[in-house]
Structure 1
Amino acid sequence: MGSNEIRFDYQQHGERDVFEIVPRIDATPLTELIDKFETDFGMKPAGNAYGGLIPQFFRFGPIEDHFHGRSTGAMGPKTPVLGCECGEWGCWPLMTSITVTAELVTWDSFEQPHRKTRDYTAFGPFRFDRHQYDDALRTLSAAIGSAAANTNEEDC
């Protein structure tokens, strides 16, 4: 069983003066992967619907906890990994189950909670080597800390 590679881009949001987190799986942004999936399966609306998570808009808690599936219980059993292209994750989120073991992190059971009839069974699962995943999270956490220090923002 092969594993996927993950990186987290921490980049300027296209239309706002904030930073967003966009997971990159096997070098492709998750926003592109989900757009292609939804478009290929004839889902509407689809295409350019998703954007990264914006820590400044929602206190996710420690970013490592969030991407280990241990974020606030108010979001239910699944974790948002993308938000709406408008910048608000609650508007149009891509949710997934995140399972963490000593060797592996798995993202599966994706859903769009505002379109319960959509079938994402064929999207994923994505399996990441735990050490590579945690390295990517450390890099993301450092980028967030650095950006916060440069703009006098609180760490998320």
Structure 2
Amino acid sequence: MGRFWDKFRGSRYPDSGATPLPVADLRAALLALNGSDVPFVVRDAQPEEQADLVAEWRIAEPAWQTFFVRSQLDRQIRIRMRLVPGKREVRALDEQWEVTWVGNTTKVPTLGKYSRGSTTTISKQWTYERGPDGRRRRVETFSFDSREMKNPLRKTVLGAGWNWRGGVFNL
């Protein structure tokens, strides 16, 4: 039953024979993922976050408008990571908040959704426009995939010889 839950939660293990790096080197490798070419930031966690490191990606999806109402979804995705040196594993918990901003002239936040666990979020938006041949075609205007943040984190952890334990946040 253990392998089923590992797959369900998104846990991964390094290649056999991989030499685990010390916790300080793993932390430095995860913080080194920051840069201008990545759409997320890895930072030290605040005490109230109950983690060692946090990776954050805030997304503001393009606004849509009907005759009377303009709306925009604001989404925050965060991965809290706890480093467990005794087991050579990183316990990761995905969290996501969605807030919809509705209003004509003044935007007011409406109740959003909150989810946590091992999640994958994909969001795409398209519009229709005329192509060079005059035919209508669908053009992607917005794309987001949470794996663009999680995969580099997981790859760094596994490359350091540590286990990635997804959806678990126990002490």
TM-score (norm 1): 0.29
Larger C-alpha radius of gyration, 1 or 2? 2
Q: Which structure: greater helix fraction?
A: 1
Q: Which structure: greater strand fraction?
A: 2
TM-score (norm 2): 0.27
Name the structure, 1 or 2, with higher relative contact order (CA <8 Å, separation 6+).
2
